[in-house]
Amino acid sequence: MTNVQKLLDILEEIAPAALATSWDNVGLLVGSPRSRVSSVLLALDPTVSLIAQAQERAAELIITHHPALFQPLKCLRTDQPIGSFLDAALRAGINVIGCHTNLDAALGGVSDALAQALGLTNTIPLIADKKQPTCGLGRIGWLPTPLPPEAFLTQLQAAISLPWLLEAGPRSIAVAKVAVCGGSCSDLAEAALAAGADVFITAEIKHHVARWAEEAGLWLLDGGHFATENPAMHILQQQLTERIRLADLNVQIHCAQQESPLKLVAQEFCKE
């Protein structure tokens, strides 16, 4: 039976910790590298319900994209969400790893999952990593065939299960060059425009960025944080499964059942 350290080593091959931003917190956050692992549960968010899912799959290790421990703790309150999750994990003997901005920047990571879903070709990082230029935040690439904006929206919805779609800026006459960045990446809008993107797909677009896009002439699409990042969990599952097979290890990799915490209010309650 393998241990947590072996999974950390495999993750390092997929998403090197050096790719994480300086403000991030990745790696083993709960548990011991010596703990044995036969089953792993992958998820976007660390929630208490994950512990029950992990126990159902006999998973000794949870890997989440968003770190369970992000800011330094001044106290550990088990009656509050973070403390409750940590308490439940410790009581169940479940180890927890965070794989966040390193997975955002890695080849085959969050933005590559979006680019792959859209069928983009000749993709490169939108913001290349200084030490590993083939990695970095966001991706920009080409559609095999340029599409009218309405047809592109149909393709986007078919490729990614979007609970909603917000737009800002003028629609392009034709969409050929596409920039993507899963999660909250509207700060990269100027880089997308400078790179010649016909459209930039991300999430949590800030008001001032949306207003800027109107003036600058960039079409922005906001598909929600969860929807633009969650596809990467299935790609990570495939990557881990393949490397575990090559290493001749007996470890099962599962994806958790999670939904976006944000829901679209019924139209009849919204003012036109």
Tens-digit pLDDT profile for residues 210-220: 999 999 999 99
More confident call, 268 vs 142: 142
Q: Which residues of the chain form beta strands (DSSP E)?
A: 2-3, 27-30, 36-37, 39-43, 61-64, 95-98, 121-128, 136-147, 166-168, 175-184, 199-203, 219-222, 252-255
Point out the least confidently predicted range of 156-160, 208-212, 268-272. Answer: 268-272
Does 107-223 match 2-102+230-255 at the fold level? yes
Contact 113, 232 (CB under 8 A): yes
Burial 113-143 (b: 16+ CB within 10 A, else e): bbbbbbebeebebbbebeeeeebbbbbbbeb
234 marked among binding-site residues: no
Average pLDDT over residues 37-66: 97
- Check whether 264 has a pLDDT greater than 90: no
Please give the pLDDT value at position 271.
59
Average pLDDT over residues 194-212: 98
- Check whether 179 has a pLDDT greater than 90: yes
Q: What share of the chain is helix, strand, coil (3-state, %, to 5)?
A: 40, 25, 40
Q: CA gyration radius for the chain?
A: 19
- Check whether 92 has a pLDDT greater than 90: yes
- Check whether 232 has a pLDDT greater than 90: yes
Look at the domain 107-223 and name its fold. 3.40.1390
In CATH, the architecture of 2-102+230-255 is 3-Layer(aba) Sandwich (3.40)
129 marked among binding-site residues: no
Q: What is the pTM of this model?
A: 0.94
Please give the pLDDT value at position 1.
80
- Check whether 7 has a pLDDT greater than 60: yes
Please give the pLDDT value at position 83.
95
Per-domain residue ranges of the chain? 2-102+230-255, 107-223
- Check whether 169 has a pLDDT greater than 80: yes
Q: How confident is the model at residue 30 (pLDDT cuts 50, 70, 90)?
A: very high
- Check whether 272 has a pLDDT greater than 80: no
225 marked among binding-site residues: yes
Q: How confident is the model at residue 267 (pLDDT cuts 50, 70, 90)?
A: low
Please give the pLDDT value at position 164.
87
Could you tell me the two tokens for 99? Answer: 């794989």
66 marked among binding-site residues: yes
Q: How confident is the model at residue 269 (pLDDT cuts 50, 70, 90)?
A: low
Please give the pLDDT value at position 180.
98
